[in-house]
Amino acid sequence: MQMIKPVITPKFLEAIFITIAIFLLISISIIQFGSVPHIPILLSILLLFGYGLIKDVSYQKLEKGLVEGAGAGMSAVFLFFFIGMLISSWMISGTIPTMIYAGFSIISMTFFFAIVFIVTSLIGLSVGSSLTTVATIGVAFIGMATAMDLSLAVTAGAIVSGAFFGDKMSPLSDTTNLSSAIVGVDLFEHIRNMGWTTIPAFLLTLVFFLIVSPRATEGTIQDVSEFKEGLLATGMIHWYTLIPLIVLIVLTFIKVPALMTLAISSISAIVISFLHQVSTASEIFNVLFSGYVSSTGIAEIDSLLSRGGMERMMFTVALVLLALSMGGLLFTLGIVQCLLAKIESLLNKVSSVIAASALTAIGINILIGEQYLSILLTGQAFKEPYDKVGLAGKNLSRVMEDAGTVVNPLVPWSVCGIFITGVIGVPTLEYLPFAVFCLLSPVLTVVFGFTGKTLTFK
């Protein structure tokens, strides 16, 4: 999308007015009126069309920007389809049920939220993908929290915090490699430099989840025991059902492309499913498309295990395409470029450069909802300002991750926010206050920018 050329150069006040109008339209519709994000985003697209037509931009050019914006999300669309199939195949194979059962056997209710945060952090580091972490181990933890009658909002906050810690710090992560590549910094130097803000954020988040974690009660222990018995009764709890998880991790480590990794793991799960249940080809195809439907007769377990499928990703896919289409129009009309140029012209000292780049990354996440775009645009816009004030490139790559990568899941209409809500069933605004790591990272990067601590100069 960053290659879309503007067809007009709007006045700064016009760009500000349009931006504020879109932000208010989307946020008020979702927060105040409880609307699904699709409608206000579609209305925002109509607003942009109206502005473009008033500025004498042809309908054909506006339509082209719309299509080019949507086209930027096609790789994410295919990824979502494969993740939908991965979840349903991991359900029918018993992979996720076995992970939940093992979690009940290993993890106590005491310090539960802290353990969720630590485990998802380790898985995120291992696979380098926040969305994969949420869609696999995250779903399992949500199931455990449901069985133990714990807060799903806090559990989701712990999952998101851990998953995005891993996404940010893993050398296998797309965002980590992208951030270092844009500014020409060695990957591992970039990761080491992020430690100055990431480690304090990690420790503070861990303390928070230790404090808010509950204590076990006899009633809860009894509920967990009954839930474990119900899972065993499904006949899907076996050691070999964890093979698809192992396949996923191994393929990720040897850097097999994400789509192929998800596809191969799903195929292995389908093969394993035949070991403990008899299924026909038509049933398998139906599960991959519509999702797995549990029929144990135990309402809590059936509600937990009935998940996945391409069809259930359609809500997410539609919203991603709408959000990116809106982004394409914002670029076509020159609104994003106008705002970035104005910000760049106001920079003259280290603290303002750090703060402006962080706010830009956050603003792009909020306005367009695209994680990669927040990294790309921030990196491109602030290379020269960082050079002017004598800051090394690794400072910029760190800010791009601190305020770009980890902020995306906090925006209800963003790619990550939409996906996470769709997979674990917890609305973005409910888990947002508890995604402590994601909230702390941009704050710490700005604070260190004003104090001058941990910054590297040329």
DSSP collapsed to 3 states, 262-323: HHHHHHHHHHHHCCCCCCCHHHHHHHHHHCCCCCCCCHHHHHHHCCCCCHHHHHHHHHHHHH
Predicted local distance difference test score (pLDDT) of residue 2: 53
- To which H or E segment does residue 197 belong? helix 187-212
What's the token pair of residue 376?
């790309």
Per-residue pLDDT tens listing for the chain (458 residues)? 556 788 888 988 999 999 889 888 887 887 778 777 788 889 999 999 999 999 999 999 999 988 888 886 677 678 778 878 888 888 888 888 887 777 667 666 678 899 889 888 887 876 677 887 888 778 888 887 887 888 899 999 999 999 999 888 887 676 787 788 777 777 778 888 899 999 999 999 999 999 988 765 544 555 567 677 777 877 888 888 889 988 888 887 787 877 888 889 899 999 998 887 767 888 889 888 988 887 777 666 776 677 778 887 787 778 778 877 888 888 899 887 888 777 766 677 788 888 888 988 898 888 777 777 788 778 767 877 888 888 888 889 899 999 988 999 999 888 789 889 988 889 999 999 999 999 999 999 999 888 888 777 87
What's the token pair of residue 46?
């109509």
269 CB contacts (<8 Å, ≥6 apart)?
86, 89, 90, 92, 93, 95, 244
62 CB contacts (<8 Å, ≥6 apart)?
48, 49, 52, 53, 329, 332
Which of the 8 DSSP states describes residue 9? -
What's the token pair of residue 445?
């990067």
Task: Give domain status of residue 215, yes or no.
Answer: yes
What's the token pair of residue 19?
């931006």
Predicted local distance difference test score (pLDDT) of residue 223: 58
Name residue 457's beta-bridge partners: 391
Helix ranges, 346-427 (H): 350-367, 371-388, 393-400, 415-424
Task: Give domain status of residue 429, yes or no.
Answer: no
376 CB contacts (<8 Å, ≥6 apart)?
2, 178, 182
Cβ–Cβ contacts within 10 Å for residue 361, how many? 31
Task: Give domain status of residue 243, yes or no.
Answer: yes
Task: Give domain status of residue 94, yes or no.
Answer: yes
Q: Are 126 and 167 in contact (CB under 8 A)?
A: no
Predicted local distance difference test score (pLDDT) of residue 420: 92
369: left (phi over 0), alpha (psi -120 to 50) or beta: left
Whole-prediction pTM value?
0.70
Give the closest residue to 51 by CA, choosing from 330, 422, 395. Answer: 330
Domain of 218 in residue numbering reads as 75-313
Predicted local distance difference test score (pLDDT) of residue 126: 62
204 CB contacts (<8 Å, ≥6 apart)?
436, 440
Domain count, the chain: 1
Task: Give domain status of residue 335, yes or no.
Answer: no
Q: Tell me: the pLDDT tens digits for 89-100?
A: 888 888 888 877
Task: Give domain status of residue 265, yes or no.
Answer: yes
Question: What gap in Å lies between CA 172 and CA 249, rounded to an integer?
Answer: 11
Name residue 391's beta-bridge partners: 457
Three-state DSSP state, 391? strand
